[in-house]
Every structure is written in structure tokens, then in C-alpha cells.
Amino acid sequence: MGFIDWIMMEFVEAHNLTGLLIGICTFLIIGVFHPVVIKCEYYFGTRCWWVFLLLGIVGMAAACCVRQVLYSSLLGVFAFSSFWTILEIFEQKKRVQKGWFPMNPKRKEEYRKENTK
């Protein structure tokens, strides 16, 4: 950890701001995942779910290896947001089929196959 990081962490801990900082960062991490879900489903469909599984596993392992509470917490939030994204990609496909979000014209066949079953 660099000198600036050390000074910032001292300030955060001295003023009991760790919980607020975790909350703000959690809000931002979840906020970033929303457009990621939409873009991933649009360009790749549900085929990319395994990438988020790997990201979640790596995030969990990293959270277990980091001693600092702030960083460990944020890695945990990232890991479980990645796991939640797997579900959301499949839900996004349903939202596209309902017409709530635009369908990728290059992958129209994927949606037709599912609708005919």
C-alpha cells in the first residue's frame, strides 16, 4: 500500500467513514453492472454467463486473501454482483423478448427458437 493510500485509510478510519465508503462503492459497483448486463445480452446473448461466474469466483478468492476490511468488502460486493449478473443476463433476455429492450438484429434467430418451443 502506497503512502497516499495509507494516509487516506487513516483519515477514513479516524473519522469512522469505512461503512459509508463501502456503501457508496457498493452503490457504484451495482450501478456499473446494470449497463453491463444490457450490453452483454445485446452483443453476446446468454452465452457470456460463464465469464461472470469466473469473475465471481476470482472476486471471492481475492476477498478471502485481502486483510484490509474496505478492500475485502468491495471485492466481496464485486464477486456477488458478478454472480447476480448471471441471473440478470437470463432475465434480460426475457425482457428483450417482451419488447422492453432492443433486440440485436444479428441474433434474431436465437429469440425465435425459444419462442417456438
CB half-sphere exposure, 25, CA atoms < 13 A: 15
Percentage with pLDDT > 70 across the chain: 92
Q: Contact 49/90 with Cβ under 8 angstroms?
A: yes
In the predicted model, is pLDDT for residue 117 greater than 60?
A: no
Model confidence over 38-75: pLDDT tens digits?
Answer: 999 999 999 999 999 999 999 999 999 999 899 999 99
Residues 6+ apart with CB under 8 A from 93: 41, 45, 46, 111, 114
